[in-house]
Structures are given as C-alpha cells and as structure tokens.
Amino acid sequence: MHLADEWGDIAARLPVDWAEARLRLSMDPGKAEEAAALLAPAGPSRSDGELHVAVTRGGQGIGPEGLRRLLRQLDEEKIEGRLELLGSASAPLRVDAPPPSLAAAWDDVVAKLPEDWSDVYAQIVLVSTGQLARAALLLAPTNPATYGVDHGFRFRVARRAGYGVSPQMARRCLARLDQDGIRGRVEIVHALSDTQHVATQGPVWYLGGRAV
C-alpha cells in the first residue's frame, strides 16, 4: 500500500475530535535521508531507519492534507516504508461559546477544499444525542449514514455528477438543522479532486473493509 493511502487509513480511524497525531515511518535506512528531505516541511525527527512526524489539525505545523501531499512525493519516488500511529491527542472541549451555524461551517470547510474538488465524504457530529432522530429526518436528502461516526452522520457530496448530494443541497439541509436549533460541527473526512467517472457513478471509499 502507498504511504499516502496508509495515512488515509490511519486518519479515518482517529477520533473525530483529534487535534494531533504522532506518526512513525519505518523504512530501509538507506532511504531515510532522501525521505527526510522530502518530508522536511513536516519537520521530521530521524533515528536510523525511522522518521517521526507530528500532524496537527487546526493549529501550527503540518496538517492532514499537507502530510498527504508530502507522502505522495515519497510514493512517486518509489520510497517504500510502513507508517504507524504512535498516539493522538484531542482538542480541549470549549464550552464558552455556542457552536457556529452548520450552514456557515459547511461554507468554511468547502472554501478550504482545492479549487478542482469533485467528491467529498463529510460528517456532522451533533452536540446533543437527543436530536439524532430529528437531524436524520432533516438530512434525509443527503442519505445520511451513522457508520464510522458517533453522535452524528456521514454523507457523500458530488460536485458535478455521480454518487452523493450536490453541495448546494448539502448546505440547504444543514441550514434546516440550524433553523431547528440543532447544533454540531461539520468536517470533511475524505476529498477527491477532478475525478473522471468511467463506467461508474463515482469513487468508492473503504472504511474498515466496508464500502461507503
């Protein structure tokens, strides 16, 4: 498996509120120097045939997508190795401010996607578990699923064509939750750019061996 894909699998298993993940990349010691140079923007530490990297979300340092891009460079250079999760830390819970509008949160996460994004696997995590049934009803057009997320739902969005609801419909459904007083946070689980649908209706993601 490519290193970028290994990171995708690790990221999918992290808690939804993770803020930092510490990773170890093991490889042939003869390739460590070249790998360290390619991963330099992530500030890796090196020990023999191992590199250690910290990934942060919503803070300073290398982010999830930044690391994915760097690992793709290693894949392109045929540098093989094994990526392992050493540990993770969650963001401290903030209770001093109300959650933002879900529709506004959707606008924010979409604005951070690459300009040529085509497919997204997104999730909403609710503040109150007592609102799950009502939220599922309001999110019905997105075909919400509970697999892989606690206290919320995941859904697919297709920008041009294929599997998933349109980004406009996703926003409209989230605005309906806002109107109903349902609060939570919106996150992008996976995103793809400029996909070409050949004899298919779109990409398929696998989480825990299950197609989503």
Residue 118 DSSP code: E
Of the chain, the percentage scoring pLDDT greater than 70 comes to 88
Confidence at residue 86, expressed as pLDDT on a 0 to 100 scale: 92
Q: Which residues on neighbouring strands pair with residue 18, listed in sequence order?
A: 90
Predicted confidence (pLDDT) at residue 95 exceeds the cutoff of 60: no
pLDDT band at 99 (very low <50, low <70, confident <90, very high): low
Kindly report the CATH number that applies to the domain delimited by 102-211: 3.30.70
Structure-model confidence comparison of residues 46 and 141, the more confident one:
141
The Cα 72–Cα 192 span in angstroms is: 14
H and E: helices and strands count for the chain: 6, 9
Provide mean pLDDT across the span 101-127. 91
Question: Which residues have C-beta within 8 Å of that of residue 178, sequence separation ≥ 6?
Answer: 101, 102, 103
Report strand pairing: 117-126 vs 184-193: antiparallel
Confidence at residue 97, expressed as pLDDT on a 0 to 100 scale: 57
Predicted confidence (pLDDT) at residue 74 exceeds the cutoff of 60: yes
pLDDT band at 207 (very low <50, low <70, confident <90, very high): low
Coil, helix or strand for 121? strand
Provide mean pLDDT across the span 144-158. 88
Phi-psi region of 199 (alpha: psi -120 to 50; beta: other; left: phi over 0): left
Radius of gyration of the chain measured on its C-alpha atoms: 19
Least confident of 16-25, 54-63, 127-136, 176-185: 54-63
Count CB neighbours of 99 within 10 A. Answer: 15
pLDDT band at 201 (very low <50, low <70, confident <90, very high): low
Can you list the positions of beta strands (E) in 58-139?
A: 81-90, 117-126
Provide mean pLDDT across the span 158-172. 88
Judge whether 131 and 124 are in contact, CB under 8 Å: no
Is domain 3-90 in CATH 1.10.150, yes or no?
no
Q: What is the pLDDT of residues 10-58, one digit of tens each?
A: 999 998 888 899 999 999 888 899 999 999 999 999 887 799 999 998 7
Nearest to 174 by CA among 120, 107, 118, 127: 107
pTM: 0.50
pLDDT band at 98 (very low <50, low <70, confident <90, very high): low
Confidence at residue 48, expressed as pLDDT on a 0 to 100 scale: 76
pLDDT band at 198 (very low <50, low <70, confident <90, very high): low
The ranges assigned to domains in the chain are: 3-90, 102-211
Judge whether 27 and 49 are in contact, CB under 8 Å: yes
